[in-house]
Structure 1
Amino acid sequence: MSGITGTTRLYAVLGDPVTQVQAPAMLNPVFAELGVDAVLVPVHVEAAHLAEVVTGLQRTGNLDGLLITVPHKIDACAFADVLSRAVQASGSTNAMRREPDGTWTAENFDGAGFVLGMAAAGHELAGRRITLVGAGGAGGAIAASVLDAGAARLHVCDPDQGKLSALLDRLAAGRPGRVTGGPAPELERADVVVNATPLGLRPDDPLPFDPALLPPGAVVADIVMKPRETPLLRAAAAAGRPVHHGAHMLSHQLDLYREFFRLGGPGRP
């Protein structure tokens, strides 16, 4: 793409805040590489205005897709006509596509991206005990995907009992005895602990948990992408625990986005 013109197709990533989003820096070069006349821009949307912004954007004739980030991944599901299996399992969406008939399909690639990123870094999930901190939009997607990847046991913690209970009910179907939950994380016997909360976006955020309480060798994964070295990951490294950065979850979604948004490219439809 040589520049934005009257034929440029639009994509938007919605969040509050959006200063941390990495998707434009990663997807816009993909558009250019593929010769797709499109651009992805960040759109700052407060929760109180989500409905009017999403419905307004969906009526924009040259807008083909939306990416959804914190804190809108759960509430944005209400604006889709079709929910994928991953969205139904997680209760959240991070990508929405306009169909040729004008309807909207919601998908969620957070969980798949997280699992692919962990595998690429050499972190096995099958047979492992996973603790997930945060039952929000990204947390729900990661929870469903790590169970599908063969995790032996998943413990989810969140202080919001309603949100936690809703996620546990969805996850328990077909997975008897593998999922537990509560207000505090189980750390002492965990093999992998994932921060799926926004804690770490701001420099004065408290740590979501103390990595020094983990057994030796337990992996600490953070889905916060900016800053790259979150306070949690710094504390985990200082405690001698292996760390996994948030950027891996997004970078391993790029091919999934290409397919979902029908962007084509070499060897692709």
Structure 2
Amino acid sequence: MIAAWERLASATVGGRPLAATRVLYAIGALWLLRTDHRRFATGFDPDRLHLDWPLVGGHLRGLPPTLVEGAWVIGALLLIVGIVPRVGAAAVTLSAFAFYAVDRQHYGNGGYFIVLIGMLLVLADSGASATPWGPDRRRASWWPAFLLASQLTIVYLYAGVQKFRHSSLTGDTIAWQLHGPLVDRIGWSHLPVALNLLGGIAELFCAIALWFALTRKLAVVVGVILHVGILCFLRWSPDMAAFAFASWSLYPAFWAASGPLAEELARWRAARSPADPAPEPVRRSATA
């Protein structure tokens, strides 16, 4: 087992999946910045009322909003073009953290996910390939790709399990969020229950199926439908749109993360299977 983890720790993967993650993440980060742009002017104003986070307190108040916003944009552009992407990921992460940490009222699931993925992209060599479709400049380490993919698995597993609580199965947790022309057109009284159940099944399926080559493409389709359905059926939230982009950006990481794991699984199965018995020599009869 220790030898297997040592091989995985030193394993390398192609750079194109991580390049796709890098580009999709940058698009999601720019979308989130666009939706939060109007709050930047007052978000760091020390004269405004802020709800402070523990530890951070009011230390971030008074930062120039243009500095934070500019670092965010430059970091996202560096990620898109693939030039010093670790610096770009760090710039986006620090800028987003500053904006969400200065006031608890700024918090959202999309912003949290952007910060977390950005931290992992600082560790990953997402510039090993300049583009998602071009040749690799070099091989990238496997373990950052594994951390990226595992993060989405954790999120989907947690969200999926939560949808099978009693309060969720009754539809109460999403009934108040249903909004939009699709809801009005369908007009089914059990729609909250059905959407909750379908969402939970989809999240649990994606959490597992993304790891396997046979089911990965189907899981990507299901995941896209899941997030589009959330945006179409629930009350519109730019933060949830950013969360969808951030989730989609992690799908390519499974192509990179699953390969070495599959090789180790095949090696483990081969070691456990009994060796084929040697054929017995043919004995000739004495009368032959």
Per the normalisation by structure 2, the TM-score is 0.25
Q: Which has the higher helix share?
A: 2
Per the normalisation by structure 1, the TM-score is 0.26
Structure whose CA Rg is larger: 2
Higher RCO (C-alpha under 8 Å, 6+ residues apart): 2
